[in-house]
Structure 1
């Protein structure tokens, strides 16, 4: 058996062992990571909502859903927007 073939076998066996240990590690880590990330996401939403409530930052829950018109904005003419020719 040549040295190249021995090294190739060693590499393949090492990859199989590493992949099986990685799968065991993922089985232990994934549930913890999911629970941690969901709790972290909920905490971030709570902090943003509280800061928006006290107007420290513009919060999504407490901001108006449409821009308020300024007093200088011209009003919509009466008559439902239909054209009325000037009376003579």
Structure 2
């Protein structure tokens, strides 16, 4: 099973209580599901995560079904909450 890093930014970082953590998952859906379980005591984490966009190894996920987004060994998932300004 591929292993890599979830990186949290802004409100996602605050809700997770960490800037990054490892994943061991084949798909983005599996990685996010495991993260929700790890942070199940934080309802804010689930709320923020539901509003985030994601980059997998630098490529935007967009509206693709997360169960179809394959993760690579040593990969990085950027968890990006909505940002104000621009």
The TM-score, its normalising length taken from structure 2, stands at 0.18
Q: Which structure has the bigger radius of gyration?
A: 1
Greater relative contact order structure (CA < 8 Å, 6+ sep)? 2
Greater share of strand: 2
Greater share of helix: 1
The TM-score, its normalising length taken from structure 1, stands at 0.18
